[in-house]
Chains A and B, each alone.
Chain A
Amino acid sequence: MTDASIATRPVQHASPLRSALPFVFAILIALLFHLVVGPMLGAYPSRVLLDIGVAVILAVSLNIVNGYTGQFSIGHAAFMTIGGYVAGAITYYTSLHLWGDIAVDNTLSGGHGWLLVVACLAGGVASSLAGWVVGLPSLRLRGDYLAIVTLGFGEIVRVLLQQTSQQFYDPAEMHAATWRDWLAIPVGGALGFSDLPPLTNLFWMYLAVGLTILFAYRLKQSSYGRALLSIREDEIAAEAMGINVTRLKVRAFIFAAFFAGLGGGLSAHYSIIRPIDAGFAQSFDIVIMVVLGGLGSISGAVVAAILLTVVKMALTEYGIYRMILYALLLIILMIFRPRGLFGVREIWDFLPASKRKFPVPVTASAQEQALS
């Protein structure tokens, strides 16, 4: 065993500045994307950047359930879609009511950003509620059962959304509607909820991305995060340490659902949302990202989300055949890196020890390398 494998320096603790600085940083990065990167790249690449942002939010948040807590949920797209529909309904009908038209000013100074923020937060809360309702009964079950329940939940959401009614297209129609019409939930039915105000821009997207990553990271480092990880490692031992396993699982589920809803809200405001978005195929895409990146690794989820979104774009012209390539990619990965790209580690754990600020846990593979 080498000295490098055993760090003796105690973990340092953040100063007030270190607590607040990442928020400033997140805002600056979001501004950079909005003011510099976006205009430089042009319209289509900017749109790809938005897609990447959504993918990162979803992968990082699902990682909290599948990676940290070790529960296999495959219904994340359903939470995203719920958030998208709720946020979409809020902005759409608020715009119709206030301005008689959908708000299209998506510049930062345009003044309609508040509506997007409020709507996305509401979407996140709605998703959390759904997460609570689904999680409470099903997280008492172990292993595969949760997968089945979440799978079923996604399909239920998809079918329910298909049963909604046609949206109101103009203020007159909206104001003439009776409560019966509202009860039929006018969010577009099977065709999808279209003409949503395109309020999402790179600033809001990457602010949300930054906050999601930051919160996921801080959660992982905290008492909560450690308790979640201990559940993944050994439920019985975790309970023997006084951890209320069911309650924490449900909380992780709610937390992840919130960010999925937020991501769904942002996604809805630059493209259309359809009931099919809640389905199995979409959920599975997110699961693939998390597994590909390494269960529990935040940076792994980020890298995998970027990678798969770009690959998906590049393969669009091959249509359905891209799934074959996808599958091949996964098979190859599982053969050569069965624990995902980064395993449970973060990207900075791969830096040479001298460049590290903090000592990191030594993993088996690092030890093998040290010993060989």
Chain B
Amino acid sequence: MNEPLLDVRDIGISFGGLRAVADFSLQVPRNSLYGLIGPNGAGKTTIFNLLTGVYRPGRGSIHLRGQRIDGRKPYEIAQAGLSRTFQNVRLFGELSVLDNLRVACHMHTPRHGLLATLLRTRGYRQQEKRMLDKVMALLSIFKLEQFQNMQAKNLAYGNQRRLEILRAIATDASLILLDEPAAGLNPAEKESLADAIRQIRDQFNLTILLIEHDMRLVMKICECITVLDHGEVIARGCATEIQTDPNVIEAYLGDPGTPPTSTD
């Protein structure tokens, strides 16, 4: 199938007189690791918010797996198979690590009615068991099992970020948006995060679209990159193409001749 998993066509939004995003289009192929980069204020997070229904695009269309999702509510978009993490971690702080993930399983587990829940019928108990098994398997990806009963807000920052990624996976989404997954991590943690993201993509057959400021990480794992500046796409291509693109260099440095970041 050559049809892209996510097909965004000419979406735009303005806040007051400010055009935050103008005529943005994006085709994310199935199973790809796609990077969305750009200087601060370029409109990256706004695009995530448009994709997930937090904002409604004033024009254009968004299709996920051939299904139109723009104009739907955030929870409907999540149910359609698009999940995300947040730039500033938004875990359910008072809930345990386990419960944070189980909340994400909420929508796709076969639903038991309120009565079955209150009477704890056999079906209900089996479902809880299945959910627990699934969640424990997820925790093992980042070796977080030992923290399962800790309140999420008490986790170390890096583990909070990891848990948020797991929570996005737990929704059984086909497309996951990662909003600066490496922010605040140290170089060693970034290194292992890059491997983990790739591993997750392969293991769960996912498509991942990520926003990131860490160029090394983006260049290392993303097969395809779109560069945004002032709400407009200024370049698209693979890592090496982007690094040598004069528009990109200018956007980041304002001074042609230097690559956006040291590469190695």
A contact residues vs B (CB 8 Å cutoff):
5-8, 10-11, 13-14, 16, 18-19, 214-215, 218-219, 222-224, 226-227, 229-230, 232-234, 236-245, 251, 255, 296, 344, 359-364, 367
Contact = CB atoms under 8 A, between A and B. Distances in A.
The 8 A-B residue pairs whose C-beta atoms are closest, nearest first, are A242-B78, A233-B92, A242-B107, A19-B120, A237-B90, A361-B96, A239-B74, A222-B117
B1 interface: no
Given A238-B103, A243-B107, A13 B78 contact: no
A251 B171 CA distance: 22
A13 B151 contact: no
Interface string B105-116: 111110010100
Interface of B: 52, 54, 73-75, 78-79, 83-84, 86, 90-96, 98-99, 102-109, 112, 114, 117-122, 124-125, 128-129, 131-132, 136, 145-151, 153-154, 167, 171
A245 B79 CA distance: 13
B67 to A, nearest CB: 15
Contact of B120 (A14, A242, A364): A14
Given A226-B99, A227-B106, A242 B119 contact: no
B120 A236 contact: no
Nearest to A296: B94
B253 to A, nearest CB: 34
Contacts of A13: 125, 128-129, 132
Nearest to B170: A241
Contacts of B125: 13-14, 19
Nearest to A3: B146
Contacts of A361: 95-96, 99, 149-151
Nearest to A23: B119
A13 B129 CA distance: 7
B83 A224 contact: no
A11 B135 CA distance: 12
Given A239-B75, A241-B103, A215 B118 contact: yes
Given A6-B149, A237-B86, A367-B154, A11 B78 contact: no
7 contacts: A6-B146, A222-B117, A237-B91, A242-B104, A296-B94, A344-B94, A363-B151
A324 B153 CA distance: 37
Contacts of B95: 226, 229-230, 233, 361
Contact of B93 (A6, A227, A233, A367): A233
B147 A6 contact: yes
Given A13-B128, A18-B120, A242-B83, 13 more contacts: A6-B146, A19-B125, A222-B117, A223-B105, A223-B112, A224-B114, A233-B92, A233-B93, A240-B83, A361-B150, A362-B149, A362-B151, A364-B151
B237 to A, nearest CB: 30
Task: Report whether over half of chain A's contact residues are helix, strand or loop; otherwise say mixed.
Answer: helix
Contacts of B108: 242
A14 B119 CA distance: 11
A256 B153 CA distance: 28
Contact of A5 (B52, B104, B136, B150): B150
Contact of A362 (B54, B106, B154, B171): B154
B78 A364 contact: no
Contacts of A360: 149
B156 to A, nearest CB: 10
B146 A8 contact: yes
Most A CB within 10 A of own CB, among B74, B136, B153 = B74
A129 B74 CA distance: 28
Contacts of B117: 218-219, 222-224
A56 B52 CA distance: 42
B119, B121, B148 pick with most chain A CB within 10 angstroms: B148
A19 B103 contact: no
B153 A364 contact: yes
Given A16-B122, A218-B118, A359 B73 contact: no
A372 to B, nearest CB: 15
A13 B146 CA distance: 19
Nearest to A254: B114
B247 to A, nearest CB: 33
Contacts of A227: 103, 106
Nearest to A15: B125
Contacts of B119: 19
A234 B90 contact: yes
B229 to A, nearest CB: 27
A361 B99 CA distance: 10
A236 B54 contact: yes
B73 A241 contact: no
Contact of A6 (B84, B99, B150, B153): B150
A241 B90 contact: no
